[in-house]
Chain A
């Protein structure tokens, strides 16, 4: 009880309320602007939050994450271009509804579904995170190693073009985490006598480069794309009758979203697509999907926002990121000197409640922001890309520079951006690489300790049923893309 009071009292401090509100505003704005995304905004924000107290800093990022997921639906509905990937399914029915003259209604449905999904997942989060953390306290290095391997294997099913490339990017991320002085032996690895590399790769410039610069370069080739914009004058909340009709769809999608969010590496985009498909499958009006049906909007929106809350569960309870955005939040936690995982929640439970409170606040706030600022947020889509992206570049340069007041970090950011751009062209995602980078240290530590415990006998790891369980899940996970490919081939032949 003390922890709950302490956690919430931290949030009630004036400065913290301002920071969280700012996080929500940035999140909605970034989500609403096509090309800008929550991970990018979190990456850009990270260096500036280093000077803040850890709890408000992480709470601000968590609020931004929630609001960014919602913000993406604004452009999905108004210009048929999802502001963020999780809103991709919202456009399927949101845009047709807006086009037939009901943009306010479409935004209202998306907002109510987002808030409902977000709050439901937060209830699960507040119950599941401490429970999971308590279970994880029993984990020894071998169990942690198996869990981390399972989390990395989940990259195979992450959204993207190719499971194989996601895995390669993840493994490269883990390899990047080995740069620097080996903690056990003090031996320098991959430092090439550059002192700046002794402490390992600096997260901030790499994250900013991969997420912001890579996207900037991709945007430079789409400047001539003309989009039809629909202006929303005001948001129209759904009626009570309409809500009663949509209740089951919202609840179902919230459950799906929360569950998918909890799975390591799976994020809001997968949740939204499954939420949309399930809404269609259970609907009595399947034929209306794609023409602007309310279920086609609330299904994906409840699911993608629920996934945001769900993704915080493994992130805080196990130190395993639930999505690309939470991987960045995890990186920020590490930079603030925390060691994410069960000990964090057990030793500083007020931390959990503060994050919960911030996300709850964010969910309520974007309902208010949506109601009051629908017109404004529909106008931000009119900002020319030619002015927007130079501003992003400036924030990227300052963000990379300010992390250690060094131009070397700006060069690192640029190189990471160029690599990110060419990786993306060839189907390698930035998010798997970042997740590998974040998990890398934990994987190596758990692996080394396990090998010491079992005297270098890898097979002895299997003595633990938990290890066996995670390895079995890993095997299933890795074989699924090949199995589904084979199944599709048989169906095609038939």
Chain B
């Protein structure tokens, strides 16, 4: 979203000169689209008789909140001016694009969570313990194997036997 050329000066400095912060403008636009859609949704809420609703229709309060969110969001593209004066850098955490490892982690988390009803909770835990450390660059195989072998079993025992949490066994029927 905010990919930056390595030879270019700090994007934060560049943006500070403008009146409108381009990234914040984009973020505001996304929020405003969401607000617009939700506002439309509120117009679809059932209406009840004024006597029953005591003049407070179900849509009134969410609509009020959406107006407030929209109003505050409209200020966002200009906020960097004030923040710069205060010495705060709003771009500090987003000046670089999302780290490749973070993208891979997101993909893994989505995959493992989607697979969890099929794997069952125990195999899901083993998969996490085996794959995530490797994904994050941990190369010592013995600690990983010990971690994947012991941790999920201990967690399963504590939660299923002591805390009586029901763990789904998945299509392979593996559970403790």
Residues of A within 8 A of B (CB): 48, 51, 161-162, 164-165, 167-168, 171-172, 174-175, 178, 182, 184-185, 187-190, 213, 216-217, 220-221, 223, 384-387, 389-391, 393-395, 397-398, 401-402, 405, 407, 410-411, 414, 417-418, 421, 424-427, 444, 447-448, 451-452, 455-456, 481-482, 484-485, 488-489, 492
Residue B143 CB within 8 A of the other chain? yes
Are B66 and A385 interface neighbours, CB within 8 A? no
Are A187 and B45 interface neighbours, CB within 8 A? yes
Option from A51, A190, A391, A410 in Cβ contact (under 8 Å) with B164 = A51
Are B31 and A161 interface neighbours, CB within 8 A? no
Are A484 and B86 interface neighbours, CB within 8 A? yes
Given A162-B90, A184-B53, A185-B53, the answer on whether A168 and B61 have CB atoms closer than 8 Å is no
Given A189-B58, A217-B102, A398-B121, the answer on whether A391 and B79 have CB atoms closer than 8 Å is no
Given A162-B90, A223-B137, A393-B109, the answer on whether A447 and B165 have CB atoms closer than 8 Å is no
Output the nearest chain B residue to A51 by Cβ-Cβ distance.
Answer: B163
Output the nearest chain A residue to B24 by Cβ-Cβ distance.
Answer: A426
8 tightest CB-CB pairs across the interface, nearest first? A386-B138, A221-B99, A390-B132, A187-B58, A485-B82, A386-B133, A386-B136, A182-B58
Residue B176 CB within 8 A of the other chain? no
Are B129 and A390 interface neighbours, CB within 8 A? yes
CA distance A48 to B48 in the complex (A): 40
CA distance A221 to B137 in the complex (A): 12
CA distance A339 to B128 in the complex (A): 38
Residue B106 CB within 8 A of the other chain? yes
Option from A168, A220, A407 in Cβ contact (under 8 Å) with B136 = A220
Are B136 and A385 interface neighbours, CB within 8 A? yes
Residue B13 CB within 8 A of the other chain? no
Given A164-B72, A178-B62, A410-B113, the answer on whether A391 and B151 have CB atoms closer than 8 Å is yes
Chain B residues contacting A220 (CB-CB under 8 Å) are 99, 101-102, 105, 136
Chain A residues contacting B52 (CB-CB under 8 Å) are 185
Are A418 and B106 interface neighbours, CB within 8 A? yes
Residue B85 CB within 8 A of the other chain? yes
Output the nearest chain B residue to A186 by Cβ-Cβ distance.
Answer: B48
Q: Measured between C-beta atoms, what is the minimum distance from B140 to chain A in Å?
A: 9
Q: Measured between C-beta atoms, what is the minimum distance from A349 to chain B in Å?
A: 30
Q: Measured between C-beta atoms, what is the minimum distance from B113 to chain A in Å?
A: 5
Most buried by B among A51, A187, A217, A387: A387
How many A-B residue pairs have C-beta atoms within 8 angstroms? Tell me: 176
Given A161-B83, A418-B106, the answer on whether A451 and B45 have CB atoms closer than 8 Å is no
Are B99 and A411 interface neighbours, CB within 8 A? no
Per-residue A-contact encoding for B91-116, CB less than 8 Å = 1, 0 else: 01110001101100110011001001
Interface of B, secondary structure class, is: helix
CA distance A418 to B52 in the complex (A): 40
Option from B79, B136, B138, B168 in Cβ contact (under 8 Å) with A164 = B79
Chain B residues contacting A402 (CB-CB under 8 Å) are 159, 163, 165
CA distance A36 to B145 in the complex (A): 24
Output the nearest chain B residue to A384 by Cβ-Cβ distance.
Answer: B138
Are A387 and B58 interface neighbours, CB within 8 A? no
Given A168-B76, A411-B113, the answer on whether A455 and B55 have CB atoms closer than 8 Å is yes
CA distance A421 to B173 in the complex (A): 34
Option from B27, B68, B128, B133 in Cβ contact (under 8 Å) with A171 = B68
CA distance A161 to B82 in the complex (A): 12
Chain B residues contacting A188 (CB-CB under 8 Å) are 45-46
CA distance A488 to B88 in the complex (A): 12
Chain B residues contacting A48 (CB-CB under 8 Å) are 159, 163, 165
Residue B65 CB within 8 A of the other chain? yes
A-B contact pairs, 9 of them (CB 8 A): A161-B92, A171-B65, A178-B61, A223-B101, A394-B125, A397-B116, A414-B113, A425-B98, A485-B85
Given A168-B31, A390-B132, A394-B151, the answer on whether A414 and B76 have CB atoms closer than 8 Å is no
Chain B residues contacting A444 (CB-CB under 8 Å) are 61
Most buried by A among B59, B105, B129: B105
Chain A residues contacting B166 (CB-CB under 8 Å) are 405
CA distance A48 to B155 in the complex (A): 13
Output the nearest chain B residue to A52 by Cβ-Cβ distance.
Answer: B163
Chain B residues contacting A407 (CB-CB under 8 Å) are 116-117, 168
Chain B residues contacting A213 (CB-CB under 8 Å) are 109
Chain A residues contacting B57 (CB-CB under 8 Å) are 185
Output the nearest chain B residue to A181 by Cβ-Cβ distance.
Answer: B58
Are B136 and A485 interface neighbours, CB within 8 A? no
Q: Measured between C-beta atoms, what is the minimum distance from A382 to chain B in Å?
A: 12
Given A168-B69, A424-B93, A426-B94, the answer on whether A162 and B155 have CB atoms closer than 8 Å is no
Are B106 and A161 interface neighbours, CB within 8 A? no
Q: Measured between C-beta atoms, what is the minimum distance from B43 to chain A in Å?
A: 12
Given A386-B133, A390-B133, A485-B82, the answer on whether A175 and B54 have CB atoms closer than 8 Å is no
Chain B residues contacting A485 (CB-CB under 8 Å) are 82, 85-86
Given A164-B79, A175-B66, A190-B41, the answer on whether A414 and B137 have CB atoms closer than 8 Å is no
Chain A residues contacting B33 (CB-CB under 8 Å) are none
Residue B174 CB within 8 A of the other chain? no
Chain B residues contacting A393 (CB-CB under 8 Å) are 109, 128, 132
Output the nearest chain B residue to A160 by Cβ-Cβ distance.
Answer: B88
Interface residues of B in 146-176 (CB under 8 A from A): 147, 151-152, 155, 159, 163-166, 168
Q: Measured between C-beta atoms, what is the minimum distance from A195 to chain B in Å?
A: 17
Are B102 and A221 interface neighbours, CB within 8 A? yes
Are B132 and A389 interface neighbours, CB within 8 A? yes
Residue B75 CB within 8 A of the other chain? yes
CA distance A186 to B13 in the complex (A): 52
Chain B residues contacting A455 (CB-CB under 8 Å) are 55
Are A387 and B121 interface neighbours, CB within 8 A? no
Q: Measured between C-beta atoms, what is the minimum distance from A34 to chain B in Å?
A: 15
